[in-house]
């Protein structure tokens, strides 16, 4: 997404700081995702959480590709990052 930030900023009519937030919010959700998903792997198992989170990532990444407002772009990027962080949650619970 980083190479496309100027084009995204032009399409959404946002300044550089707001456009950078759309990139940074994805990485921020990597910090919170394992805190939510790792306990879920203990309750529901690793495979179901990993598969559902992968589908969650695909869904919200697709929504971010079609978003027309900056708010939707930021929210969908956060939720896509949450789904993408399942790998870290599954890996961290497997090492315990």
pLDDT digits (tens, 9 = 90+) for 36-82: 998 998 899 999 999 999 999 999 999 999 999 999 999 999 999 99
Six token digits for residue 77: 């990027």
pLDDT at 92 over 60: no
Determine the structural domain holding residue 33 and report its residue range: 2-95
pLDDT at 94 over 80: no
pLDDT at 31 over 90: no
Supply the DSSP string of 5-22, one letter for each residue: HHHHHHHHT--HHHHHHH
Q: Find the angle CA(14)-CA(16)-CA(22) to the nearest 5 degrees.
A: 75
Q: What percent of the chain has pLDDT over 90?
A: 55
| Band of pLDDT at residue 90, cut at 50, 70 and 90 | confident
Six token digits for residue 81: 């990052």
Q: What is the mean pLDDT of residues 21-31?
A: 90
Angstrom CA distances, 86 to 25, 46, 77, 92, stand at: 16, 9, 15, 10
Residue 2 has a pLDDT of: 84
Overall domain count for the chain: 1
């Amino acid at each position: 997404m980083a190479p496309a930030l100027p084009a995204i900023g032009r399409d959404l009519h946002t300044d550089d700081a707001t456009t950078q937030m759309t990139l940074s919010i994805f990485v921020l959700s990597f910090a919170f995702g394992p805190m939510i998903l790792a306990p879920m792997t203990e309750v529901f198992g690793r495979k179901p959480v990993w598969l559902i989170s992968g589908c969650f990532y695909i869904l919200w990444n697709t929504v971010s590709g079609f978003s027309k407002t900056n708010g939707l772009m930021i929210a969908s990027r956060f939720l896509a990052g949450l789904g993408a962080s399942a790998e870290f949650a599954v890996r961290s619970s497997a090492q315990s």
